[in-house]
Structure 1
């Protein structure tokens, strides 16, 4: 069964989502956890305490947040599994529509990426 990572990108420092979105997401995630689609996931704090390790030309350097240049950050993630790519895409659209309905004033990018189990190409 194909597995996927979902990411939610949004502007840094926009505040907490409205309660209506939190409630809708609770129902959405609860339903998918119950049917085995949602494996794990959660929200992420801002970049104020983030740590990056940058590898450049064989050297490793540590860069601590906050990052003044960060305008858009990953605000949440999920590990999901579906019977098909089509089912995953349809459900990711439903996830995005929850945000459009309950937090319309914020720009959110909901990204879905298939997880590689090896060197083969993703399912089509």
Structure 2
């Protein structure tokens, strides 16, 4: 079965999500964990302690957060195992809809990417 990584991107420092979203996500993730779909995941702290190493022209430079130029940051991630790309896409939409329903005043980008297992093409 193909594995996927989901990311949630949003503006930084927009406040704490509503309790209703936490409860809906707990139920959503719990159901998927019980079915063996949700393998691992979690939320991320803000960029105030983030560290990037930038490689440019064979030189490595360290850049510490926070990053004033960042419009959106990754706030959470998940690794999931689905039987097909179609199932993964449908479930990621359902996950995004939880945010639309329970935290409508913010902009959230829920991204889904297939994890490469080697040189084969995505969707294989």
* Global fold match (TM > 0.5): yes
* Superposed displacement of residue 20, structure 1: 0.2
* Superposed displacement of residue 71, structure 1: 1.6
Matched residue, 2:110: 110
Following the alignment from structure 1 to structure 2, what is the Cα–Cα distance between the partners of residues 91 and 68? 33
Matched residue, 2:11: 11
Matched residue, 1:68: 68
Following the alignment from structure 1 to structure 2, what is the Cα–Cα distance between the partners of residues 91 and 29? 11
* Superposed displacement of residue 52, structure 1: 0.2
Following the alignment from structure 2 to structure 1, what is the Cα–Cα distance between the partners of residues 78 and 45? 15
Following the alignment from structure 2 to structure 1, what is the Cα–Cα distance between the partners of residues 80 and 30? 13
Following the alignment from structure 2 to structure 1, what is the Cα–Cα distance between the partners of residues 117 and 123? 11
Structure 1 unaligned segments of length 5 or more: list them: none
Following the alignment from structure 1 to structure 2, what is the Cα–Cα distance between the partners of residues 35 and 101? 24
Structure 2 unaligned segments of length 5 or more: list them: none
How many residues are matched? 124
Question: In the TM superposition, what are the counterparts of 1:1-124 in structure 2 within 5 Å?
Answer: 1-123=1-123
CA RMSD of aligned residues (A): 0.7
| SS in structure 2 at match of 1:79 | strand
